[in-house]
Chains A and B, each alone.
Chain A
Amino acid sequence: MGRRPRPCRCVAGDEPAVTLRRKLLLAFSATVFLCVLTVTWIVLTTTRRAFERLNEQQTEALIAQFRREFKRRGDEVMNKVTNIARNDSSARMAAAASTSSRDYAQFVGDAKDIADTQQLDFLEFADADGTIISSAQWPAKFGYKENDVPTTGPETNQSFLRREGLPDGSALSLSAIRRVEAGSAVLYVIGGRRIDRSFIASLEVPAGVRTILYQNLTPEFSRELLIDSSGEVARGEALEGVVRHVQIDRQEITQRVHWSSDSVDDEDIYAIPLSGHRGELLAVLLIGNSRRPYVEFSQRIQLAAMIVAGSGILLAILFSSWVAARVTQPVEQLAAAAREVAEGNLNTQVEVHSADEIGELADTFNRMTREILEKRELLVQSERVAAWRDVARRLAHELKNPLFPLQLTVENLVRARELSPEEFDEVFRESASTLLAEIANLKAIVSRFSEFSKMPKPQYQSVDINELVENVMRLFQAQFAAGSIECRVELTANVHTIAADPDMLHRAVSNLVLNAIDAMPTGGTLRVSTRQDRGRAMITISDTGQGLTSQERLQLFTPYYTTKKHGTGLGLAIVQSVVSDHGGKVTVQSEPGQGATFIIDVPDGLEKLPRENASGSNYSMRGESGA
């Protein structure tokens, strides 16, 4: 606890990584959202099905009611027509109509009077051949034929739908017909009630349901022929499709009608064809079931679902944040600790608060860092001992060479003094000269060691690596021209400048070129190339010499290690030191007999430059030291 996890960067790129906490948060939120969505869908589906069931039940009940009402009205009409037919006046009319004179004059107004008395909207008397004697609805029609009189068949005992011709058009009626026989005279009584607004209004329908009647009186659809309990149907043209379907198919259909762009106004229309006794389509009964209750209920459910979902997601975020924090905090601490370890801070520990898997992981991590620390101490100690041993061996080796001539010269002087005093002076002069030379040699060795230990820190400037390489190669130009080494310089065009110490980098590249030349005593090809990639600059020096063994590759950058007869073993160490001081690395690729390739890989490090040196190359060579 106490360590705050640092933002982690994705290794593969710069895109922000999704943390475990966010993943958990998203997972919790998605789960809650999906749950609410599923519940809402289930509720909506169930509601819709329930509504549709209710709708079907209402429609069926209404149809049954309409049929009952239709039959009841039909029975009423039948009773009234029967009463009229049984009346003496009908018998007299029948008798009068059967005479040869057929005097309709005395009866022309009778139908109207009787219809008024019997509260019938339509009433006609027709003689045996269907000639109208008297008509209530169209008094002027006397003498004309009535097509609905069943002159060739038995009369029907049931009421039927009928289209009534009127002076100003036609109307729909629920009619009945009765035959009156007075001796040989026959009279038909045809009476009916108009199916109109009042008929529709008499049907009791539940709230949200309405009945509309389309009177199929003209071949073309006309919205004026639509009537409901309030009269003419507003925007009746929307029902044209339903009516047309029924007109064509003569079957019951259900269709949804959109009265406006608002789905609340939608209505499910159940259309029933109503035919006359000859099968002709006379009307279409439209039972409209408003979808307003369902849509409003559905909208309320959706609103509630949205509120619940929103609240749920909010709560889920809060809860999952808390849970995720509880779950991920130890992991994040472990991750932060691992990053510190990766950065070299092996003395990193995480606090263990639980005994679960996370706790065990933290404990294991602590144990691991402790062991690494201990091992590293041991390793450092052993490496330090080995280094001192190596230095001692190198010093012994370096110092042994000049000391041995010194010893021989001193012993030669002692012997010359004892054996031939006369030649002592001459021997003394020669020995003194030898002693001075070897002492100078010893001083030179000490000086080089001193120089390695005093490597300066880089003074960063803006450096063009192509220019730097060209300057290095220019130093060896005469050597290449005189020898058998072919030099190939391959520089990548348009490289950007980097931040580097030009002298130190020049020295490192020079050392590698010199090493390559030394590796090809019998000639070969030297390749030097430059490259830049993703903010890093790379200089590659390849030779076609004898190559390196794996053991040599491992020890190559160890100070004072050399495979050359006259080398100090500090050249490549200096190269590694320079490159390392620039934040880069130097690598070698080599196999025995196949030459070697050294790659200097340094970051451009432009942020290390002073602002005035951020652009342009300030490269200039201060001097050169050999490897």
Chain B
Amino acid sequence: MRRFVSALVVFSSLIQVAPCLGGTRPRYGGTLRVNMQAALVSLDPADANSADPVALDEISHLLFDTLVRLDGRGNPAPGLASTWRSDSGYQRWSFTLRNNVRLSDGTILTPQIATASLRSVNPDWRLVASDDGITIEVSSACPQLPMQIALTRNSIVQRDSGRLLGSGPFTLSSWQPGKHLILKAREDYWKGRPFLDEIDVDLNRNLREQTISLDLGKVDLIDLAPGQSQRTTSEGRATVSSWTNQLLCLVFRNGNPSEDEQKLREALALSVDRKALASVILQGDGTPAGSILPNWQSGYAFLFAPSYDLRRARELRDEVHLVTAWSLGYNGTDPSSRLLAERIALNAQDAGLRLQTSMTPNPDIRLERILITSPDTHVALDDVARQLGLPMPKLTGASTEDAYQMEKALLESRRIIPLLHVPANHALAGNVHGWSSQWDGGLGLADVWLGTSRP
């Protein structure tokens, strides 16, 4: 946890938003205009098929709440649940709901609504609604249950005939899937009305358009691709970066590889010059990764230290008489993603591997950016496995050793080759104030307010 705290300190130092550093009184009102690269077609936080879980996570925080939230340091803090406790075996957990919390349509949040919401996402749990809260029973000891409850996908949502009702600080005013949405501040939010009146989000905007819009003052907040933050900062724009809470990795479509295939995959892992990817393509916006979780989170990632060994990669390739040509898919809307994919293909070529970048729907290998959704090691690993569709090794305990074994098993499945840990980056206009430190680098727009002047 000390490592985590120190990482938060580093993150805080990365926030370079001068106007928001005190000295200015917050004010209500105004519309925050946001551009996002993601083309969200669903706002359901439980949508496991979302093409951009990072964006979904950020929007979900504005519309929905969880029973337990994570504070700026990543510790569990009361959310919709005011208190919680467990039995001694960590199998039965009781959560007491906060009183007089209303959903966006004005109805009171009841234990039944919360139970139904959690049951839809966690069918293995035994959920019981009581007068003032809910009880969750799990099959095995789960001391991290509050951390799991804090995951965005466990947000309390009332699904009513296709409508999603939440208790978040904003309510959905307008929604064009994949294109545009407007969020309107709720006067009756249980934590108090947000400063902003509205948040206007344009979806599916490419990064170049976003940058131009920011320069022209047409937008207040934009995404930055990994590698863009340094240049953007050097050009005088305000940026905000999280710590490295995203994993850039190669994910193979097919599981259960043969022995030869495993050698080829290992050769590919050894052939990639991660340092060049991080330092040149991402301009230092990432660290080479050999593990799924970053070292600041797990503490054991150095045991999976990435190695760039072209000679060994060639040897492995030569041991296999299998001629394999892989297709490598990437996110076509992200220019750095394409560059990364081409560089990986070039590295693989050096090892005698045939890897061709491709935009086909089902490539042999995907270059993926995975959001690490929880500061808890076990919960994060479990969620990564869920996001990638990998079989989750059986949990044997809650210790670091157990987490290490679990991650090792995931890596040895040869379905995933970690490449880099990268942060989330945003650029914002000068009139945006009130950033709060989110543990995961989320936007925290509920506390943002707009200054009187625009740059």
Contact A143-B276, Cβ < 8 Å, known A105-B283, A105-B284 = yes
Residues of A within 8 A of B284 (CB): 105
Expressed in whole angstroms, the minimum distance between the Cβ of A101 and any Cβ of chain B is 10
Chain B interface, DSSP helix/strand/loop, else mixed: helix
B373 within 8 A of A: no
Residues of A within 8 A of B179 (CB): none
B357 within 8 A of A: yes
CA distance A108 to B346 in the complex (A): 15
Establish whether residues B276 and A142, one from each chain, have CB atoms under 8 Å apart when the complex forms.
Answer: yes
Per-residue contact bits, chain A 99-143, to B (CB 8 Å; 1 contact, 0 not): 000011110100000000000000000000000000000111111
Establish whether residues B346 and A139, one from each chain, have CB atoms under 8 Å apart when the complex forms.
Answer: no
Expressed in whole angstroms, the minimum distance between the Cβ of A320 and any Cβ of chain B is 80
B:323-365 near A, CB below 8 Å: 339-340, 342-343, 345-346, 356-357
A279 within 8 A of B: no
Expressed in whole angstroms, the minimum distance between the Cβ of B348 and any Cβ of chain A is 11
CA distance A108 to B281 in the complex (A): 7
- Total contacts A to B, CB within 8 angstroms? 33
Residues of A within 8 A of B357 (CB): 167-168
Establish whether residues B279 and A105, one from each chain, have CB atoms under 8 Å apart when the complex forms.
Answer: yes
B21 within 8 A of A: no
A:71-110 near B, CB below 8 Å: 103-106, 108
Contact A144-B346, Cβ < 8 Å, known A139-B339, A167-B357, A168-B357 = yes
A166 nearest CB neighbor, chain B only = B342
Per-residue contact bits, chain A 135-166, to B (CB 8 Å; 1 contact, 0 not): 00011111110000000000000000000000
Interface size class of B (residues with CB under 8 A): 10 to 19
What is the interface size of chain A, counting residues whose CB is below 8 A from a CB of the partner?
14
Per-residue contact bits, chain B 257-280, to A (CB 8 Å; 1 contact, 0 not): 000000000000000010010011
Expressed in whole angstroms, the minimum distance between the Cβ of B358 and any Cβ of chain A is 9
Residues of A within 8 A of B340 (CB): 140
Establish whether residues B345 and A142, one from each chain, have CB atoms under 8 Å apart when the complex forms.
Answer: no
B284, B339, B357: residue with the most chain A Cβ atoms closer than 10 Å = B339
Expressed in whole angstroms, the minimum distance between the Cβ of B75 and any Cβ of chain A is 36
Establish whether residues B280 and A108, one from each chain, have CB atoms under 8 Å apart when the complex forms.
Answer: yes
B283, B343, B357: residue with the most chain A Cβ atoms closer than 10 Å = B343
Contact A142-B280, Cβ < 8 Å, known A167-B357, A168-B357 = yes
Residues of A within 8 A of B273 (CB): 143
Establish whether residues B279 and A167, one from each chain, have CB atoms under 8 Å apart when the complex forms.
Answer: no
Establish whether residues A140 and B279, one from each chain, have CB atoms under 8 Å apart when the complex forms.
Answer: no
CA distance A138 to B281 in the complex (A): 12
CA distance A141 to B284 in the complex (A): 18
Per-residue contact bits, chain B 357-382, to A (CB 8 Å; 1 contact, 0 not): 10000000000000000000000000
Expressed in whole angstroms, the minimum distance between the Cβ of B116 and any Cβ of chain A is 49
**Residue A105 contacts which of B280, B345, B346 (CB distance < 8 angstroms)?**
B280
Per-residue contact bits, chain B 280-319, to A (CB 8 Å; 1 contact, 0 not): 1101100000000000000000000000000000000000
CA distance A103 to B279 in the complex (A): 9
CA distance A106 to B339 in the complex (A): 15
Contact A138-B342, Cβ < 8 Å, known A167-B357, A168-B357 = yes
CA distance A311 to B273 in the complex (A): 86
Establish whether residues B346 and A140, one from each chain, have CB atoms under 8 Å apart when the complex forms.
Answer: yes
Establish whether residues A104 and B345, one from each chain, have CB atoms under 8 Å apart when the complex forms.
Answer: no
Residues of A within 8 A of B345 (CB): 140, 167
**Residue B281 contacts which of A106, A140, A144, A167 (CB distance < 8 angstroms)?**
A140
CA distance A139 to B28 in the complex (A): 46
Residues of B within 8 A of A142 (CB): 276, 280
B280, B339, B356: residue with the most chain A Cβ atoms closer than 10 Å = B280
Residues of B within 8 A of A140 (CB): 281, 339-340, 342-343, 345-346
Residues of A within 8 A of B283 (CB): 105-106
Residues of B within 8 A of A103 (CB): 279
CA distance A142 to B276 in the complex (A): 9
Residues of A within 8 A of B346 (CB): 138, 140-141, 144, 167
CA distance A615 to B283 in the complex (A): 126
Expressed in whole angstroms, the minimum distance between the Cβ of A451 and any Cβ of chain B is 126
CA distance A144 to B283 in the complex (A): 18
Expressed in whole angstroms, the minimum distance between the Cβ of A169 and any Cβ of chain B is 10
Expressed in whole angstroms, the minimum distance between the Cβ of A139 and any Cβ of chain B is 5
Establish whether residues A139 and B276, one from each chain, have CB atoms under 8 Å apart when the complex forms.
Answer: no
B:150-179 near A, CB below 8 Å: none
CA distance A142 to B280 in the complex (A): 9
A108, A139, A140, A167: residue with the most chain B Cβ atoms closer than 10 Å = A140
A106, A108, A138, A144: residue with the most chain B Cβ atoms closer than 10 Å = A108
CA distance A264 to B345 in the complex (A): 49
A138, A139, A141: residue with the most chain B Cβ atoms closer than 10 Å = A139
CA distance A140 to B367 in the complex (A): 15
Residues of A within 8 A of B343 (CB): 140
Shortest Cβ-Cβ A-B pairs, 7 listed? A140-B343, A140-B342, A105-B280, A167-B342, A108-B280, A105-B279, A139-B339
Q: List 26 A-B contacts (CB under 8 A).
A: A103-B279, A104-B280, A105-B279, A105-B283, A106-B283, A108-B280, A138-B346, A139-B342, A140-B281, A140-B339, A140-B340, A140-B342, A140-B343, A140-B345, A140-B346, A141-B346, A142-B276, A143-B273, A143-B276, A143-B280, A144-B346, A167-B342, A167-B345, A167-B346, A167-B357, A168-B356
